[in-house]
Structure 1
Amino acid sequence: MVHSSKSTHKGQHVGYIRVSTLEQSTSRQLVDVELDRVFTEKTSAKTVERPELQACIQYLREGDTLHVHSLDRVCRSGAGDAVMLVETLNAKGVSVVFHKEGMSFNGSMTAAQKGVLGILASVAQMERELILERQREGIAAAKALGKHMGRPKTSLNEDELKRLVAEGLSVSAIAKQLGSTRQSVYRRMEALGLR
């Protein structure tokens, strides 16, 4: 029996998880995938500054597999991002799996694979842009109807605020008593010359 001199190292299963805002949960991505290492990022899809993605790419070695929940987690400015990521990692001997789309790449891509990946990445980007467009339209419609968008405005009772400050209460305690935020109390105190 002839043994190959090539290493039989299976490599690691590495996950890249990204959500757009600090409030969003990363828990729904790659839940059923057993991973050796996970790189998590909370940043907008629009930004090119993705330190965790860059760290992930640097970390990956030949024989490793990168697991990504869906194409829109890595696309920044269009389909080219996904194709470039896959080509870069495949050249290093790293496999790439996009779970939502059911796509796996573990070698040089054919023209057909590049085309399909490009199309799916474009669709993912279009979906994201449609969501933002609908969100902007909804906000504009609500404003046109006179609805206030954002945090509810709080009106702080000036006399009550002065009394609580005179009593020596902390800003946190004042905010709690007035049903407001500390930031609002600070701003009002500054406006009234109480700070």
Structure 2
Amino acid sequence: MAAQGKHVPFTFKAMASSAGGFLIVWAAMKLLDTWFDLTLLAETKGWLLRFRDWLLLETPMPNWSALMLVAILISTLSVALYYARFTDGANGELHEIERKVYKMNNPQFPQLTDNQTLLMEALAYHANFRKVANLDSVCKLVSLSTLEVETGLNQLQVKRLVRRKVTRGTFGSTVFELTLEGKDYALERLELT
């Protein structure tokens, strides 16, 4: 499907124009031969007549058919090499595109809403810079209300992408971090480094 815009180089228009070119050259040679005395034209005509005689020689396999077989083999090989080199890069690109489409249509991770994706990016940012991700820092980073962030983090916790750690004591706090599956999701889907 990726190569639909490409045109085959052997078209009827190209063949007709080359045949027309040969016809014009032949007519020009005939006119020059008729009106002018050209020695080069006579030599070329003599060489072409000898070549024609050689092609028409009576042998077990006529020379013209042997010449045609060689021409067919060379042209077939040329076309095969051309298309092998022409489609080599396209197949690689096509395979890569098909792989991306397959991954999008058959995810190994759950589909997330926009807010959940935003929260995953925020948690990945915190993890990438080794910062503590508490409720306030995530709210400031994503510009969502506290209720929306809590709801989104709870949904991500149900999907096993986020883990909540609660510390007790004088300075007790709630910290959110990505699980191993959440880190895989962030690396795969968010394309973080």
Richer in helix (by share): 2
TM-score, normalization: structure 1? 0.27
- Greater strand share, 1 or 2? 1
